[in-house]
């Protein structure tokens, strides 16, 4: 009887172990980004919580520079046993820039990372601003402005003259292909005293040309 009882106990343990499900970390899949604009995108993926309360988020950053510098808010994926579709909207991106991202999910067992994917934001023309002239004398003045290449190789110039038809153009100058705003200027000489001059800044890249607003200055009268 004692041996029979031991056999029954062992069988019961085996049956219990067979019916006990091992808990595992979430299963995650990164999917292609959609609705990509010059400064925003929607990131997609799938999460299986594997029957444990699970949170997910996306990590992202500029590809090759700051791959995962940013993260979306953590959100619940529930505690089910089937895959669910998840998404997050990201904004404040830079134009013409490649970003890398991945889906991350965690439960009480561990953290899972999806495959790293990339997308490139839409290219746009340069952003330009005409700024007030400085160092104005009876015969000289410095024209000022700012240019943001928005990630594409960009050149700029100033158009200037005594009317808004301008008539004069400075030499096209490269301002690079960065994503930051750069201050630029050009010095005019041999101006006429006591005359009002108009000018604008113009910048061009492969996505188009943008014009700054018209600004004027008047040279002092020579005494």
Question: Which residue reads 């943001």 in tokens?
Answer: 148
pLDDT value of position 67: 81
Above 60 in pLDDT, residue 199? yes
Of 62, 97, 120, which residue sits at a domain end? 120
> Per-residue pLDDT averaged across 177-205, rounded?
97
| CATH number of the domain bearing residue 156 | 2.60.40.10
Q: How far apart are CA 79 and CA 56, in angstroms?
A: 12
Above 80 in pLDDT, residue 101? yes
Above 70 in pLDDT, residue 16? no
pLDDT band of 223, cuts 50, 70, 90 = confident
> Per-residue pLDDT averaged across 185-199, rounded?
98
Q: How far apart are CA 18 and CA 57, in angstroms?
A: 34
pTM for the whole structure: 0.76
Structural domain that includes position 61: 24-120
Residue 223 inside a domain? The answer is no
> Per-residue pLDDT averaged across 80-107, rounded?
97
Please check whether residues 104 and 138 belong to one and the same domain: no
Of 66, 89, 120, which residue sits at a domain end? 120
Who has greater pLDDT, 87 or 65?
Answer: 87
Please check whether residues 116 and 151 belong to one and the same domain: no
Cross-sheet strand order for the sheet of 127-134: 127-134, 141-148, 182-188
Q: Residue 106, Cα to own-chain centre: how many angstroms?
A: 26
Please check whether residues 106 and 188 belong to one and the same domain: no
Please check whether residues 144 and 114 belong to one and the same domain: no
pLDDT value of position 222: 79
Residue 99 inside a domain? The answer is yes
Residue 3 inside a domain? The answer is no
Residue 94 inside a domain? The answer is yes
DSSP letters for the chain: -HHHHHHHHHHHHHHHHHHPPPP-PPEEEEEEEES--SS-EEEEEEEE-TTS-EEEEEEEEETTT-TTSEEPPPEEEES-SS-EEEEEEE-SPPTT-EEEEEEEEE-SS-EEEPPPEEEEPPP-PPEEEEEEEES--SS-EEEEEEEE-TTS-EEEEEEEESSTT--EEPPPEEEES-SS-EEEEEEE-SPPTT-EEEEEEEEEETTEEEEPPPEEEEPPPP-
pLDDT band of 6, cuts 50, 70, 90 = low
Residue 141 inside a domain? The answer is yes
Out of 3-17, 29-43, 116-130, least confident range: 3-17
Please check whether residues 106 and 131 belong to one and the same domain: no
Residue 35 inside a domain? The answer is yes
Above 60 in pLDDT, residue 149? yes
Of 76, 104, 120, which residue sits at a domain end? 120
Burial code of 117-140, b = ≥16 C-beta within 10 A, e = fewer?
Answer: bebebbbbbbbbebbebeebeeee
> Per-residue pLDDT averaged across 50-78, rounded?
96
* Cα 133 to Cα 38, 58, 109, 171, 192, distances in angstroms: 31, 46, 64, 18, 16
Residue 16 inside a domain? The answer is no
Please check whether residues 144 and 116 belong to one and the same domain: no
> Per-residue pLDDT averaged across 45-59, rounded?
98
Put residue 79 in one of left, alpha, beta given phi > 0 → left and psi -120 to 50 → alpha: alpha
Q: How far apart are CA 157 and CA 136, in angstroms?
A: 19
pLDDT band of 5, cuts 50, 70, 90 = low
Please check whether residues 112 and 155 belong to one and the same domain: no
How many distinct structural domains can be found in the chain? Answer: 2
């Amino acid at each position: 009887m004692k041996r029979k009882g031991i056999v029954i106990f062992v069988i019961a343990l085996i049956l219990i172990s067979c019916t006990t499900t091992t808990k595992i970390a979430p299963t995650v899949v990164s999917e292609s980004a959609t609705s990509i604009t010059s400064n925003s995108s929607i990131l997609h993926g799938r999460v299986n919580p594997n029957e444990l309360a699970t949170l997910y988020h996306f990590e992202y950053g500029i590809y090759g520079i700051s791959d995962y510098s940013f993260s979306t808010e953590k959100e619940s994926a529930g505690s089910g046993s089937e895959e669910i579709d998840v998404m997050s909207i990201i904004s404040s991106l830079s134009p013409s820039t490649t970003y890398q991202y991945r889906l991350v999910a965690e439960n009480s067992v561990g953290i899972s990372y999806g495959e790293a994917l990339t997308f490139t934001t839409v290219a746009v023309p340069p952003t330009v601003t005409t700024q007030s002239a400085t160092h104005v004398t009876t015969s000289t003045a410095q024209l000022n402005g700012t240019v943001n290449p928005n990630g594409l190789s960009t050149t700029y110039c100033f158009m200037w003259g005594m009317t808004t038809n301008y008539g004069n153009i400075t030499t096209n100058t490269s301002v690079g292909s960065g994503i930051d705003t750069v201050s630029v200027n050009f010095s005019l000489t041999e101006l006429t005293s006591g005359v009002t001059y108009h000018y604008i800044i113009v910048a061009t890249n492969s996505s188009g040309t943008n014009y700054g607003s018209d600004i004027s200055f008047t040279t002092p009268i020579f005494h």
